[in-house]
Amino acid sequence: MDYIIDMNTKKIIGRIEECERLNEVLEADSAQLVIVYGRRRVGKTYLINQYFENKFAFKVTGAYMQPKAVQIKNFIQELSRKTKQKYEQPTDWYDVFELIRNYIEDLPEDEKQVFFFDELPWMDTNKSDFLPAFEWFWNDYASTKDNVVFIVCGSATSWMVEHISHNKGGLFNRQTCRLYLKPFTLAEVEQYLLNKNFIWSRYDIAECYMIMGGIPYYLSLLKKNLSLSQNIDALFFKDKGELWDEFEHLYATLFSNSDVYVKIVELLSKKRSGLTRQEIIESGAFQSNGSLSKILNNLVDSGFIRINAFYGKKKKEIRYQLCDYYTAFYLYFIRDNYGKDEHFWTNSIDNPSKRAWTGLTFEQVCKDHVYQIKKALGVSGVLSEESVWQIKGGIDENGTAQKGAQIDLLIERRDRVINICEIKYSQNEYEIDKSYDMELRNKIERFRRETNNKNSLQLTLITTYGLKRNMYSNIASNQVILDDLFE
């Protein structure tokens, strides 16, 4: 099957690097095993279907929570539709892949033949021997066919990482391409909405991002004839709205013991700055063992939590922070309010809890757009490390009471400059008053003193609409505004 890819005709928003990588796969002169993984609803299947225009030598999708016999039956039915042949029902996966091998033998060798196995983890049912059979098939045969491209995809990111990407057996170092699909950036969300003829301000788009993140499926449910608040009410708070029960499906379809994973994210949702592994253990709900480490790693790999480095601390003191916007929004607002008020979000315009939530969540938006922040600062080409810092209040060596201090985001650059980022979400220009000016000066000085830092420190204010000019605004060495995050 010949593939002549014209990206100008495709309905793909963003994903430029991923499409370029797929182009390279098609141009390769050897067999290709491509892994596509990422959070549920992030658009993995859509990308592959659109890129290849649904033209595959063979495509099959795993069935959720179905036994081996059903998985094989579905597989053979798809093969029968493709070949127009009838097959006796195989009893094991080795026989299934023998049929695929015979099918490949009949395909033209001078054309690229793309095979797409979607939701691969669901095919690997308990004691099914699916993975050993696939390993054998790839190593013994498919990897020798220079015109063959196998794309394997799955939302169960932890399974994809453990069994395919980091496979220690027959697939060790066999994959030729790994595509991890991240959620859209703010710019890509704006592009998506403009493509759907939405006329929203960037302030509204940012609030939408704080609720849904850059998850294409959630965005696809928005209606352009409704305001943002009306859309949120309809999707999340209306009786049987389309996303009212998304939380239950989100974790249950990705993790076999999903209750434990939910407990972790619930715990992290109560401490937005994050918790160390030891603090998670001290909560009393988890034991210090390999199982906890695996759960945390799986949540990180799946994009639900992130590792926040703590400035100047060792690796064991890293913090785990909830970073999935939908999960945080659900636990903060939906779980306890669903069914009580179908217009909850519209009626929450002046709610103090909403203002607190926007402030905390905007910090996360900034952490997800560090590249854009560095670009606005003119240092996008400078290597950097990002971290957070905080210190508790107490009495110093001179007997003076010291307030606690926290820095939302530190960008430590290789040019020996540290951007101390203060992040403020506001409906208007943000105004620094005398009290806040003193707080900022004390914070910077305490950071320098406590860390014994010799680098140049630059206070960077990240706000929605910039700083209001007054006698205190010059404390900021530079500013980044919401528009910069859309670049």
- Total number of domains constituting the chain: 4
Quick one: pLDDT band at residue 273, thresholds 50, 70, 90? confident
Mean pLDDT in residue range 26-53: 93
Residue 232 pLDDT > 80:
yes
pLDDT at 170: 58
| CATH code for the domain of 165 | 3.40.50.300
Within a domain: 465:
yes
Report the residue count for the chain: 487
Task: Tell me, yes or no, whether 1 lies in a domain.
Answer: no
Q: Which of 161-175, 267-281, 348-362, 391-405 has the lowest mean pLDDT?
A: 161-175
Q: Which residues on neighbouring strands pair with residue 181, listed in sequence order?
A: 38
Whether residue 466 is found in the same domain as residue 379: yes
Give the pLDDT of residue 168.
59
Whether residues 63 and 111 fall in one domain = yes
**Which residue bears the tokens 């965005």?**
219
Q: Are residues 141 and 158 in the same domain?
A: yes
- 48 found inside a domain: yes
| Confidence (pLDDT) at 4 | 47
**Mean pLDDT for the stretch of residues 98-105:** 95
Residues 161 and 205 placed together within one structural domain of the fold? no
The answer to whether position 2 is within a domain reads no
| Residue 276 shares a structural domain with residue 160 | no
- pLDDT score of 2: 52
- Residue where a domain terminates, one of 163, 181, 199: 181
Q: How far is the C-alpha of 39 from the C-alpha of 156, rounded, in Å? A: 8
Q: Is the pLDDT of residue 468 over 70?
A: yes
Q: Which residue range(s) make up the domain with 237? A: 186-244+338-362
Given this model, what pLDDT does residue 108 score?
94
**144 and 239 both lie in a single domain:** no
Q: Are 26 and 151 in contact (CB under 8 A)?
A: no
Structure tokens at 351: 């709610």
For the stretch 331-382, pLDDT in tens is 999 988 766 789 999 998 888 889 999 999 999 999 999 999 999 999 999 9
**Do 258 and 209 reside in the same domain of the chain?**
no
Which amino acid appears at position 72 of this protein? Answer: I
Spatial strand order in the sheet of 58-61: 58-61, 113-118, 148-154, 32-38, 177-181
Question: Do 20 and 152 belong to one domain?
Answer: yes
DSSP code for 146: T
Q: What phi and psi values does residue 321 have, to the nearest 5 degrees?
A: -125, 135
Residue 282: CB atoms within 10 Å = 12
Q: Are strands 177-181 and 394-395 parallel, antiparallel or unpaired?
A: unpaired
Q: Say yes or no: 254 and 158 in one domain.
A: no
CATH of the domain at 469: 3.40.1350.10
Q: How far is CA 44 from the centre of its chain?
A: 12
- 102 and 196 together in one domain: no
Kindly give the residue spans of alpha helices, DSSP state H, lying in 91-220: 93-105, 120-123, 130-140, 157-160, 186-195, 202-212, 216-220
What is the pLDDT averaged over residues 178-194? 95
Query: Nearest-CA neighbor of 202 among 53, 441, 372?
Result: 372
Phi/psi of residue 38, nearest 5 degrees: 155, 175
**Confidence category of residue 205, pLDDT binned at 50, 70, 90:** very high
Res 291: pLDDT:
87
pLDDT band at 183 (very low <50, low <70, confident <90, very high): very high
Backbone dihedral region for residue 322 (phi beyond 0: left; psi -120 to 50: alpha; all else: beta): beta
Q: What is the DSSP string of 109-132?
A: TTS-EEEEEETHHHH--TT--HHH
Q: Is residue 292 part of a domain?
A: yes
Residue 49 lies in a domain: yes
Mean pLDDT of 144-172: 81
Does residue 471 fall inside a structural domain? yes
Assess whether pLDDT exceeds 70 at residue 15.
yes
In this structure, are 357 and 375 located in the same domain? no
State how far the alpha carbon of 395 is from the alpha carbons of 398, 404, 449, in Å: 8, 11, 15
Residue 85, SS3 per DSSP: coil
User: Percentage of the chain surpassing pLDDT 90?
Assistant: 70
Least confident of 68-77, 147-156, 316-325: 316-325
Q: Are residues 134 and 168 in the same domain?
A: yes
The answer to whether residue 302 sits within a structural domain is: yes
Tens digit of each residue's pLDDT (9 = 90 or more) over 16-27: 999 999 999 999
